[in-house]
Amino acid sequence: MKILTISDSVEKSLLKEDLLREKYRGIRFILGCGDLPPYYLEYLINSLNIPLFYVPGNHDEQSHQSQLMKKSFAQGCKNIDQEVILFKGLLIGGLAGSLRYKKGEYLYTEAQMKQKIFSMIPRLMLNKIKFNRYIDILITHAPPYGIHDQTDLPHRGFKTFLSFIKLFKPTYLIHGHTMPKKRNELSHYRSTTVINTNHYKILEIKNALI
């Protein structure tokens, strides 16, 4: 199963609709890791006619009312912040935002991110009972602490993501937010593969996962 993962920068090569459909034929769905304009997300799902699940990044904004109502700011796309969904046999969860370095939406302290994760625990435990695993893919905007992050506060990763990996063992954690040092920035932490998708990648899921 092929998945398109995106974050942070609009990929100009994807804006040619005919080439997009030809090159990315067979992609089953899209995962967005934040800081992308709504028009880009809507363009991708309309061109490829496939679902898109995303989490907002620290530069994404929406009205206070819209945030309270958990509405998507990109029509046809689903915001899965603090949720875990089942799609095509995969358990996919999301956590939006980055470490708080100023006032603003989708900026969190470590304690606040821990509370966001705490709210997901009932669904994760139910997954363990029903599927014998907690989660397959976690998409985030920020990286885990010490993995693909940087030393400055705005680009520092969350330590609580390391705890999430230890406890819930996702097969993949896919994030954006930081510039990769190389084209395919991929690391392993315990049993989890951590992927920096900035600004896009094709992920091929083995059948054994599902």
| Section 92-113 average pLDDT | 96
Pick the CATH number of 2-209 from 3.90.1150.10, 3.20.20.10, 3.90.1150.200, 3.60.21.10: 3.60.21.10
pLDDT band of 205, cuts 50, 70, 90: confident
Please tell me the pTM assigned to this model.
0.92
| Section 92-104 average pLDDT | 95
Q: How far is the C-alpha of 2 from the C-alpha of 115, rounded, in Å?
A: 32
Residue with tokens 């819930």: 168
Say whether pLDDT at 159 is over 80: yes
pLDDT at residue 210 in the model = 52
Contacting residues for 202 by C-beta, under 8 A, at least 6 apart: 2, 3, 4, 5, 24, 27
Identify the DSSP state of 170.
-
Q: How far is the C-alpha of 93 from the C-alpha of 85, rounded, in Å?
A: 6
| Section 188-196 average pLDDT | 97
Stronger pLDDT, 40 or 207, i.e. the higher one: 40
| Section 149-155 average pLDDT | 95
Q: How far is the C-alpha of 122 from the C-alpha of 113, rounded, in Å?
A: 16
Domain boundaries of the chain, sorted by first residue: 2-209
pLDDT at residue 104 in the model = 87
Phi, psi of 152 (to 5 degrees): -70, 150
pLDDT at residue 137 in the model = 98
| Whether the Cβ atoms of residue 196 and residue 185 lie closer than 8 Å to each other | yes
pLDDT at residue 65 in the model = 36
Q: How far is the C-alpha of 189 from the C-alpha of 3, rounded, in Å?
A: 21
pLDDT tens digits, 21-73 = 888 889 999 999 999 999 999 999 999 999 999 999 999 975 433 444 455 66
Say whether pLDDT at 119 is over 80: yes
- Per the prediction, the chain carries an average pLDDT of 91
pLDDT band of 183, cuts 50, 70, 90: confident
Continuous segment of H or E residues that includes residue 129: helix 110-131
pLDDT at residue 18 in the model = 83
